[in-house]
Amino acid sequence: MAVNEYRLPDPGEGLTEAEIVIWRVKVGDVIKVNDVVVEIETAKSLVELPSPYAGTIEAILVPEGETVPVGTPIISVNDGTPAESAPTHAAPPAESAPTHAAPPAESAPVHAMDLSNPAATGGGENQTLVGYGPRSGAARRRARRGPATAPTMAGSAAQMQVQGSFAPGRVDTSEVVPADEEPVPAVPAREPTSQPTADPTAGTPEESSRRAERVGGAWSVGAVLAKPPVRKLARDLGVDLATVTPSGPGGVVTKEDVESHAGARTSADSADLARAQAPTGRAERAQAPTGLAPAPTGPTGLTDRREPIKGVRKMMGQAMVESAFTIPHVTEWITVDVTRTMKLVDSLRQDREFMDVKVSPLLVLARAVCLAMRRTPEVNAHWDDEAQEVVYSGSVNIGIAAATPRGLVVPNVKDAARLSLVELAGELGRLTATAREGRTQPAEMAGGTFTITNVGVFGIDAGTPIINPGESAILAFGAVRKQPWVHKGKIRPRDVTTLALSFDHRFIDGAKGSQFLADVAALLERPATALRY
């Protein structure tokens, strides 16, 4: 049976590394070709990776949260038949026989045993390691631990004692229990107690998370049940999950449990520190201990925390620095009466043709941008510093800046000027929804020629946006508010917004930038004009 190593593939776009976010499989699962096995985060997006191999998961080689370069082996798949149907006791052909025989279990050093062969350990047919041994056919979810009976032999199919804890899928051969010793009892499910104690052998929270095992809907770290978001929160707050009293069903540690534990711990630490550093007189204050430095806390009692800069956020930071210090930005503003645009949006929402798409003022603005570029094609071009040329794009690819928990991404609508209003609405809705889910693909962010950033959804009126690298202009769309406005000689409440355009002043002069911004404003003020084209 051949074991295939699945190496981290090249995600393209010049990216050289990726972070393992979450594994969708575990050791022992049977998979088919193109089954999704892992989610990775590159510097541009969150990507699901399908397996190029079919077979049984033999080992997960990279833990969650670790960033590895392209080409690193991340999982191994055994493409042979499942272990229960393989002839475990049949003698191999002479030409493929191993060059060394396995010595008896009582005399053989552990590192010399053939761990893939149950007979080599001196045990019976049930003496197997993690990922090997009898299976009942198709892949099944591992049963939740309870007050289980002890395994029949040390090193059973589900557990192996490794430095005082159970590490599925990983075996420290220096600590493997010999077959002739008394079997190790299974760890019972964690029961809520009023005074939980930490397991001194559990290691750091990071080491515990690497020994995580999927149990039901949560992850079991040692004897602690917790889901991945809860484990991440615990790491961020510096909380050992083994010390938290669980309140979830089946002894699962919840987010609220971790937050309550962190708050109680901070309050207790602060009270102890205050008592220790509360001298009554001036002389005592002079002699107060200086080694008890409290962790910096805010008004809510939360401690400072550090978050690594990686993935999408790292790429965003590099791009913004590059743009801000290589492109001479000029920003202009204009305030527009968009009352008619808002009425048009309301009427389109009632139109049967637009029932299946999202209609918003952003849709009308995107169409206005496409039309205004006909008079000012410079805003759809970019400066090629290496070739010392201005490159005019043959298509209008409008990017929509979207804030996500992982950072700012800018997917773009390809060839937006050629789409109908319904098609444009559908593409805008699809791209923004995908971006919010963190699943924008690199190809959807490549090739943008102009960007719109909708700061109005946050209640912001305007700003000075930074141009996306590879483009020459970006338009900020402010909040639409009811304001007093002079309309037909009278002051009336009207829907008003502010547009702010930043452009590359190396080749877009003030006249060109002003002309484009004025044209967009005019189309928003009289949107019926935009629909005639």
Q: What tens digit of pLDDT does each residue of 205-246 get?
A: 444 444 444 444 454 445 578 777 788 788 778 888 888 888
In the three-class reduction of DSSP (H, G, I as helix; E, B as strand; rest coil), residue 142 is classed as: coil
Q: Average pLDDT, stretch 89-113?
A: 43
CA triple 440-444-446, angle to 5 deg:
125
Lowest mean pLDDT among 250-254, 426-430, 436-440: 436-440
Does residue 387 share a domain with residue 238? no
User: Residue 490: is its pLDDT beyond 90?
Assistant: yes
Residue 468 near residue 474, CB atoms below 8 Å: yes
Q: Which two tokens stand for residue 217?
A: 């809907």
**Which of residues 308, 336, 357 is at a domain's end?**
308
Calculate the CA 385 to chain-centre distance: 34
pLDDT computed for residue 148 by the predictor = 44
pLDDT computed for residue 400 by the predictor = 92
Does residue 404 share a domain with residue 304? no
Q: Which two tokens stand for residue 280?
A: 């009554």
β-sheet bridge partners, residue 414: none
pTM over 0.75: no
**Which of residues 276, 308, 340 is at a domain's end?**
308
Sequence-distant (≥ 6) Cβ neighbours of residue 234 within 8 angstroms:
205, 226, 240, 241, 244, 253, 258
pLDDT computed for residue 158 by the predictor = 38
Q: Between 499 and 46, where is the model more confident?
A: 499
Give residue 136's pLDDT band: very low, low, confident or very high (50, 70, 90): very low
Give the C-alpha separation, 355 to 182, whole Å: 69
Q: Average pLDDT, stretch 185-194?
A: 47
Q: Which helix (H) or strand (E) covers residue 381, if one does?
A: strand 381-384
320 part of a folded domain: yes
β-sheet bridge partners, residue 252: 225
Does residue 446 share a domain with residue 355? yes
340 part of a folded domain: yes
- How many angstroms separate the Cα of 34 from the Cα of each of 31, 53, 73, 247, 456? 9, 8, 17, 38, 41
Give residue 282's pLDDT band: very low, low, confident or very high (50, 70, 90): very low
What domain range is 269 assigned to? Answer: 187-308
Does residue 405 share a domain with residue 303? no
Does residue 235 share a domain with residue 349? no
Does residue 333 share a domain with residue 255? no
User: Residue 418: is its pLDDT beyond 50?
Assistant: yes
pLDDT computed for residue 121 by the predictor = 41
Lowest mean pLDDT among 128-142, 310-324, 370-384: 128-142
Q: Between 127 and 49, where is the model more confident?
A: 49
43 part of a folded domain: no
CB atoms within 10 A of CB 326: 13
**What amino acid is encoded at 457 in this protein?**
V
pLDDT computed for residue 259 by the predictor = 81
In the set 89, 100, 261, 505, the catalytic residue is 505
Give the C-alpha separation, 81 to 59, whole Å: 16
User: Residue 468: is its pLDDT beyond 50?
Assistant: yes
176 part of a folded domain: no
Number of domains present in the structure of the chain? 2
Reference 168, options 275, 5, 28, 341; nearest CA is: 28
Give residue 248's pLDDT band: very low, low, confident or very high (50, 70, 90): confident
162 part of a folded domain: no
- Annotated catalytic, 329? no
pLDDT computed for residue 272 by the predictor = 52
Give the C-alpha separation, 286 to 140, whole Å: 66
Residue 336 near residue 497, CB atoms below 8 Å: yes
Does residue 478 share a domain with residue 347? yes
Give residue 345's pLDDT band: very low, low, confident or very high (50, 70, 90): very high
CB atoms within 10 A of CB 449: 26
Does residue 382 share a domain with residue 279? no
Task: Report the CATH number that the domain containing residue 315 is assigned in CATH.
Answer: 3.30.559.10
Q: Average pLDDT, stretch 361-373?
A: 95
User: Residue 454: is its pLDDT beyond 60?
Assistant: yes
Q: Between 150 and 304, where is the model more confident?
A: 304
Q: Average pLDDT, stretch 399-412?
A: 83
pLDDT computed for residue 516 by the predictor = 97
pLDDT computed for residue 436 by the predictor = 80
402 part of a folded domain: yes
pLDDT computed for residue 79 by the predictor = 81
Does residue 315 share a domain with residue 302? no
**Which of residues 273, 308, 343 is at a domain's end?**
308
435 part of a folded domain: yes
Give the C-alpha separation, 40 to 508, whole Å: 40
Give residue 420's pLDDT band: very low, low, confident or very high (50, 70, 90): very high
Q: Average pLDDT, stretch 168-176?
A: 42
Does residue 352 share a domain with residue 493? yes
69 part of a folded domain: no
Mean of per-residue pLDDT scores for the chain: 73
Does residue 201 share a domain with residue 228? yes
Does residue 260 share a domain with residue 350? no
Q: Between 68 and 108, where is the model more confident?
A: 68
User: Residue 280: is its pLDDT beyond 80?
Assistant: no
Residue 85 near residue 78, CB atoms below 8 Å: no
